[in-house]
Amino acid sequence: MPVYRAKEGVLQLPDSSEEWTKEFTFIQAADCQLGLEWVMIESEHDVANTDWKNYYETSTWEDEIRWCKSFVSMVNKMEIKPKFAIMCGDILDAMPERWPEVRDRQNVDFQRIFKELDIPLVCVCGNHDVGNSPTQETVDKYRSEFGDDWFSFVCNGVFCIVVNSQYYEDPQFVPEIAAEHDSWLCEQVEIAKSGKYQHSVIFQHIPLYVETPDEPKIYFNYVPELRAKMLKQFSEAGICKIFCGHYHRNAGGWYDDKMELVVTSAIGAQLGKDKNGFRVVTVQEKEITHEYVELEDL
Ligand SMILES: [Zn+2]
Protein backbone atom coordinates (compact mmCIF):
# COMPACT_ATOMS: atom_id res chain seq x y z
CA MET A 1 0.00 0.00 0.00
CA PRO A 2 1.16 3.61 -0.51
CA VAL A 3 3.10 5.29 2.31
CA TYR A 4 0.70 6.81 4.84
CA ARG A 5 0.60 10.59 5.15
CA ALA A 6 -0.63 12.69 8.05
CA LYS A 7 -2.81 15.73 7.42
CA GLU A 8 -3.49 18.57 9.84
CA GLY A 9 -1.53 16.86 12.57
CA VAL A 10 -3.41 13.56 12.48
CA LEU A 11 -2.67 10.24 10.86
CA GLN A 12 -5.49 7.81 10.33
CA LEU A 13 -4.60 4.10 10.37
CA PRO A 14 -6.99 1.29 9.42
CA ASP A 15 -7.10 0.49 13.14
CA SER A 16 -7.30 3.89 14.78
CA SER A 17 -9.53 2.64 17.56
CA GLU A 18 -9.33 4.60 20.79
CA GLU A 19 -10.13 1.55 22.92
CA TRP A 20 -7.59 -1.04 24.02
CA THR A 21 -8.67 -4.52 22.98
CA LYS A 22 -5.77 -6.95 23.00
CA GLU A 23 -2.02 -7.45 22.53
CA PHE A 24 -0.60 -6.44 19.16
CA THR A 25 2.72 -5.79 17.43
CA PHE A 26 4.16 -3.02 15.30
CA ILE A 27 7.47 -2.55 13.52
CA GLN A 28 9.89 0.23 14.35
CA ALA A 29 12.74 0.91 11.92
CA ALA A 30 15.05 3.80 11.09
CA ASP A 31 17.53 5.21 8.64
CA CYS A 32 16.85 3.28 5.48
CA GLN A 33 18.57 6.38 4.09
CA LEU A 34 18.81 5.53 0.43
CA GLY A 35 22.25 6.64 -0.80
CA LEU A 36 24.29 6.70 2.44
CA GLU A 37 26.30 3.53 1.79
CA TRP A 38 27.72 5.06 -1.40
CA VAL A 39 28.77 8.20 0.50
CA MET A 40 30.33 6.13 3.32
CA ILE A 41 32.37 4.05 0.91
CA GLU A 42 33.68 7.21 -0.75
CA SER A 43 34.42 8.88 2.58
CA GLU A 44 36.86 6.08 3.36
CA HIS A 45 38.91 7.28 0.40
CA ASP A 46 40.01 10.76 -0.50
CA VAL A 47 37.26 13.10 0.72
CA ALA A 48 39.28 16.29 0.19
CA ASN A 49 39.70 15.56 -3.49
CA THR A 50 36.19 14.27 -4.18
CA ASP A 51 34.14 16.16 -6.74
CA TRP A 52 30.95 15.97 -4.68
CA LYS A 53 28.68 17.39 -7.36
CA ASN A 54 29.67 14.81 -9.90
CA TYR A 55 29.80 12.24 -7.14
CA TYR A 56 26.19 12.78 -6.07
CA GLU A 57 24.89 13.07 -9.59
CA THR A 58 26.32 9.68 -10.50
CA SER A 59 25.57 8.02 -7.15
CA THR A 60 23.47 4.89 -6.73
CA TRP A 61 21.75 3.20 -3.81
CA GLU A 62 21.68 -0.44 -4.85
CA ASP A 63 22.62 -1.61 -1.34
CA GLU A 64 19.76 0.27 0.28
CA ILE A 65 17.34 -1.00 -2.36
CA ARG A 66 18.34 -4.54 -1.46
CA TRP A 67 18.03 -3.90 2.29
CA CYS A 68 14.67 -2.15 1.97
CA LYS A 69 13.32 -4.98 -0.18
CA SER A 70 14.49 -7.48 2.41
CA PHE A 71 12.68 -5.49 5.11
CA VAL A 72 9.44 -5.38 3.11
CA SER A 73 9.60 -9.07 2.33
CA MET A 74 10.33 -10.08 5.96
CA VAL A 75 7.51 -7.94 7.35
CA ASN A 76 5.05 -9.16 4.72
CA LYS A 77 5.84 -12.76 5.67
CA MET A 78 5.16 -12.31 9.39
CA GLU A 79 2.50 -14.70 10.63
CA ILE A 80 1.08 -12.25 13.11
CA LYS A 81 0.53 -9.14 11.02
CA PRO A 82 1.88 -6.01 12.72
CA LYS A 83 -0.62 -3.14 12.82
CA PHE A 84 1.83 -0.70 11.23
CA ALA A 85 5.51 -0.01 10.55
CA ILE A 86 7.19 3.28 11.40
CA MET A 87 10.43 4.60 9.86
CA CYS A 88 12.10 6.88 12.38
CA GLY A 89 13.80 9.31 10.04
CA ASP A 90 16.54 9.65 7.49
CA ILE A 91 14.34 8.11 4.89
CA LEU A 92 16.55 9.37 2.06
CA ASP A 93 20.20 10.44 2.23
CA ALA A 94 20.45 13.35 -0.21
CA MET A 95 20.02 16.61 1.71
CA PRO A 96 17.08 18.56 0.24
CA GLU A 97 18.87 21.92 0.17
CA ARG A 98 21.98 20.54 -1.56
CA TRP A 99 20.92 17.68 -3.83
CA PRO A 100 17.16 18.02 -4.46
CA GLU A 101 17.23 16.18 -7.81
CA VAL A 102 19.18 13.25 -6.38
CA ARG A 103 16.76 13.20 -3.46
CA ASP A 104 13.80 13.06 -5.86
CA ARG A 105 15.33 10.02 -7.58
CA GLN A 106 15.91 8.34 -4.21
CA ASN A 107 12.30 9.04 -3.27
CA VAL A 108 10.97 7.42 -6.45
CA ASP A 109 12.76 4.19 -5.46
CA PHE A 110 11.68 4.50 -1.82
CA GLN A 111 8.00 4.87 -2.74
CA ARG A 112 8.22 2.06 -5.31
CA ILE A 113 9.71 -0.40 -2.78
CA PHE A 114 7.57 0.49 0.21
CA LYS A 115 4.26 0.45 -1.59
CA GLU A 116 4.77 -3.34 -1.66
CA LEU A 117 4.48 -3.39 2.15
CA ASP A 118 1.21 -5.03 3.20
CA ILE A 119 0.85 -2.91 6.34
CA PRO A 120 0.72 0.90 6.67
CA LEU A 121 4.11 2.64 6.69
CA VAL A 122 4.33 5.80 8.83
CA CYS A 123 7.29 8.16 8.26
CA VAL A 124 9.17 10.30 10.79
CA CYS A 125 11.27 13.27 9.65
CA GLY A 126 15.08 13.04 10.14
CA ASN A 127 17.92 15.51 9.67
CA HIS A 128 18.60 14.19 6.17
CA ASP A 129 14.94 14.79 5.33
CA VAL A 130 14.83 18.54 6.11
CA GLY A 131 18.55 19.34 6.30
CA ASN A 132 20.62 19.82 9.45
CA SER A 133 19.34 23.41 9.61
CA PRO A 134 15.76 23.23 8.30
CA THR A 135 14.39 26.12 6.24
CA GLN A 136 10.85 26.93 5.13
CA GLU A 137 11.78 25.47 1.71
CA THR A 138 13.12 22.16 3.03
CA VAL A 139 10.16 21.77 5.39
CA ASP A 140 7.76 22.45 2.49
CA LYS A 141 9.61 19.94 0.34
CA TYR A 142 9.39 17.28 3.04
CA ARG A 143 5.67 17.91 3.51
CA SER A 144 5.07 17.58 -0.23
CA GLU A 145 6.98 14.27 -0.22
CA PHE A 146 5.71 12.66 2.99
CA GLY A 147 2.87 14.76 4.46
CA ASP A 148 3.02 16.46 7.87
CA ASP A 149 6.37 16.39 9.64
CA TRP A 150 4.76 16.20 13.09
CA PHE A 151 1.50 14.53 14.08
CA SER A 152 -0.10 12.02 16.39
CA PHE A 153 -2.12 8.89 15.85
CA VAL A 154 -3.92 6.28 17.87
CA CYS A 155 -3.76 2.53 17.34
CA ASN A 156 -5.77 0.08 19.41
CA GLY A 157 -5.87 2.43 22.41
CA VAL A 158 -2.19 3.42 22.19
CA PHE A 159 -1.35 7.09 21.73
CA CYS A 160 1.59 7.71 19.37
CA ILE A 161 3.31 11.10 19.12
CA VAL A 162 5.56 11.72 16.11
CA VAL A 163 8.09 14.50 16.75
CA ASN A 164 10.33 16.37 14.31
CA SER A 165 13.49 16.43 16.44
CA GLN A 166 15.36 18.70 14.02
CA TYR A 167 13.53 21.74 15.44
CA TYR A 168 15.34 21.05 18.74
CA GLU A 169 18.69 20.49 17.06
CA ASP A 170 18.77 23.66 14.94
CA PRO A 171 15.71 25.94 14.74
CA GLN A 172 17.67 29.07 13.66
CA PHE A 173 16.05 29.52 10.22
CA VAL A 174 12.53 28.44 11.25
CA PRO A 175 11.90 29.87 14.73
CA GLU A 176 8.15 30.22 14.17
CA ILE A 177 7.68 26.68 12.90
CA ALA A 178 9.81 25.38 15.78
CA ALA A 179 7.68 27.31 18.31
CA GLU A 180 4.50 26.00 16.73
CA HIS A 181 5.89 22.46 16.92
CA ASP A 182 6.87 22.90 20.55
CA SER A 183 3.46 24.14 21.66
CA TRP A 184 1.83 21.28 19.73
CA LEU A 185 4.12 18.81 21.52
CA CYS A 186 3.15 20.26 24.91
CA GLU A 187 -0.52 19.70 24.00
CA GLN A 188 0.20 16.09 23.03
CA VAL A 189 2.04 15.51 26.30
CA GLU A 190 -1.04 16.81 28.13
CA ILE A 191 -3.20 14.32 26.23
CA ALA A 192 -0.80 11.53 27.28
CA LYS A 193 -0.98 12.78 30.86
CA SER A 194 -4.79 12.69 30.86
CA GLY A 195 -4.56 8.90 31.17
CA LYS A 196 -7.11 8.39 28.42
CA TYR A 197 -4.95 5.82 26.62
CA GLN A 198 -3.56 2.40 27.53
CA HIS A 199 0.01 3.50 26.66
CA SER A 200 1.60 6.63 25.23
CA VAL A 201 4.78 6.50 23.15
CA ILE A 202 6.95 8.94 21.23
CA PHE A 203 8.71 8.43 17.90
CA GLN A 204 11.49 10.74 16.77
CA HIS A 205 14.72 10.69 14.80
CA ILE A 206 17.39 12.08 17.13
CA PRO A 207 17.65 10.28 20.49
CA LEU A 208 17.51 12.52 23.57
CA TYR A 209 20.44 10.37 24.78
CA VAL A 210 22.16 7.31 23.37
CA GLU A 211 23.36 5.54 26.53
CA THR A 212 22.54 7.48 29.70
CA PRO A 213 20.30 10.48 30.43
CA ASP A 214 23.20 12.53 31.84
CA GLU A 215 25.78 11.97 29.08
CA PRO A 216 27.44 15.00 27.41
CA LYS A 217 26.32 16.42 24.07
CA ILE A 218 27.59 14.54 21.02
CA TYR A 219 26.47 14.64 17.39
CA PHE A 220 23.82 11.98 18.06
CA ASN A 221 21.89 13.36 21.08
CA TYR A 222 20.16 16.48 22.50
CA VAL A 223 21.91 19.23 24.47
CA PRO A 224 21.79 18.25 28.18
CA GLU A 225 19.62 21.10 29.49
CA LEU A 226 16.85 20.67 26.93
CA ARG A 227 17.12 16.89 27.25
CA ALA A 228 16.67 16.94 31.04
CA LYS A 229 13.62 19.20 30.76
CA MET A 230 11.94 17.11 28.09
CA LEU A 231 12.68 13.74 29.70
CA LYS A 232 11.15 14.93 32.96
CA GLN A 233 8.09 16.28 31.15
CA PHE A 234 7.63 13.03 29.17
CA SER A 235 8.09 10.78 32.18
CA GLU A 236 5.68 12.79 34.32
CA ALA A 237 3.10 12.50 31.54
CA GLY A 238 3.34 8.71 31.72
CA ILE A 239 5.02 8.21 28.35
CA CYS A 240 6.57 4.76 28.56
CA LYS A 241 8.76 4.51 25.44
CA ILE A 242 10.66 6.91 23.19
CA PHE A 243 11.69 5.19 19.95
CA CYS A 244 14.52 6.80 17.94
CA GLY A 245 17.02 6.21 15.14
CA HIS A 246 19.88 8.42 13.83
CA TYR A 247 22.64 6.52 15.65
CA HIS A 248 22.96 3.64 13.14
CA ARG A 249 23.61 1.36 16.14
CA ASN A 250 21.36 -0.20 18.75
CA ALA A 251 21.50 1.72 22.02
CA GLY A 252 19.34 3.46 24.59
CA GLY A 253 18.40 2.74 28.17
CA TRP A 254 15.94 3.52 30.93
CA TYR A 255 15.41 7.09 32.11
CA ASP A 256 13.66 5.98 35.29
CA ASP A 257 11.81 2.79 36.16
CA LYS A 258 8.85 3.78 33.98
CA MET A 259 10.25 5.28 30.77
CA GLU A 260 12.69 3.67 28.33
CA LEU A 261 14.44 5.29 25.40
CA VAL A 262 15.05 2.84 22.56
CA VAL A 263 17.60 3.57 19.82
CA THR A 264 17.21 1.27 16.84
CA SER A 265 19.99 0.65 14.33
CA ALA A 266 19.52 1.25 10.64
CA ILE A 267 17.91 -0.69 7.87
CA GLY A 268 20.61 1.02 5.81
CA ALA A 269 24.29 1.70 6.44
CA GLN A 270 25.74 0.76 9.84
CA LEU A 271 28.14 2.81 11.95
CA GLY A 272 28.78 0.15 14.59
CA LYS A 273 28.86 -3.61 14.96
CA ASP A 274 25.13 -4.26 14.55
CA LYS A 275 23.72 -5.88 11.45
CA ASN A 276 21.12 -4.05 9.37
CA GLY A 277 17.72 -4.67 10.89
CA PHE A 278 14.55 -3.41 12.53
CA ARG A 279 12.61 -3.82 15.75
CA VAL A 280 9.48 -5.84 16.44
CA VAL A 281 7.53 -4.16 19.23
CA THR A 282 4.95 -6.11 21.20
CA VAL A 283 2.33 -4.04 22.97
CA GLN A 284 0.77 -5.86 25.89
CA GLU A 285 -1.85 -4.64 28.30
CA LYS A 286 0.66 -3.73 31.02
CA GLU A 287 3.95 -3.35 29.16
CA ILE A 288 5.66 -2.86 25.83
CA THR A 289 8.58 -5.12 24.87
CA HIS A 290 10.77 -5.11 21.79
CA GLU A 291 13.29 -7.19 19.94
CA TYR A 292 15.81 -6.26 17.23
CA VAL A 293 15.64 -8.49 14.16
CA GLU A 294 18.46 -8.65 11.61
CA LEU A 295 17.65 -8.45 7.92
CA GLU A 296 17.93 -11.62 5.94
CA ASP A 297 20.15 -11.14 2.94
CA LEU A 298 18.17 -11.53 -0.24
ZN1 LIG B 1 20.15 11.19 11.18
Residue 54 is predicted with a pLDDT of: 76
Instruction: Compute φ and ψ for 41, nearest 5 degrees.
Output: -65, -40
Residue 33 C-alpha to ligand 1 middle, in angstroms?
9
The reply to whether CATH 3.60.21.10 applies to domain 24-294 is yes
Residue 20 C-alpha to ligand 1 middle, in angstroms?
33
Residue 47 is predicted with a pLDDT of: 65
pLDDT surpassing 70 at residue 44: no
In the structure, what pLDDT confidence band is assigned to residue 190 with cuts at 50, 70 and 90?
very high
What is the residue type of 54?
Answer: N
Separation between Cα atoms, residue 121 and residue 149, nearest integer Å:
14
Q: Which of 201, 160, 198, 197 is nearest to 285 (CA)?
A: 198
pTM of the model: 0.96
Residue 131 C-alpha to ligand 1 middle, in angstroms?
10
In the structure, what pLDDT confidence band is assigned to residue 298 with cuts at 50, 70 and 90?
low
Residue 17 C-alpha to ligand 1 middle, in angstroms?
32
Residue 285 C-alpha to ligand 1 middle, in angstroms?
32
Q: What is the pLDDT of residues 71-109, one digit of tens each?
A: 999 999 999 999 999 999 999 999 999 999 999 999 999
Residue 23 C-alpha to ligand 1 middle, in angstroms?
31
pLDDT averaged over every residue in the chain: 95
Q: What is the pLDDT of residues 265-289, one digit of tens each?
A: 999 999 999 999 999 999 999 999 9
Q: What is the pLDDT of residues 146-165, one digit of tens each?
A: 999 999 999 999 999 999 99
Residues whose CB falls within 8 Å of the CB of residue 295, separated by 6 or more in sequence, listed in order: 67, 70, 71, 74, 267, 275, 276, 277, 278
Residue 287 C-alpha to ligand 1 middle, in angstroms?
28
User: Which segments of 8-126 are extended strands (E)?
Assistant: 24-29, 85-88, 121-124
pLDDT surpassing 70 at residue 43: no
Residue 127 C-alpha to ligand 1 middle, in angstroms?
5
Residue 217 C-alpha to ligand 1 middle, in angstroms?
15
Residue 233, number of CB atoms within 10 A of its CB: 15
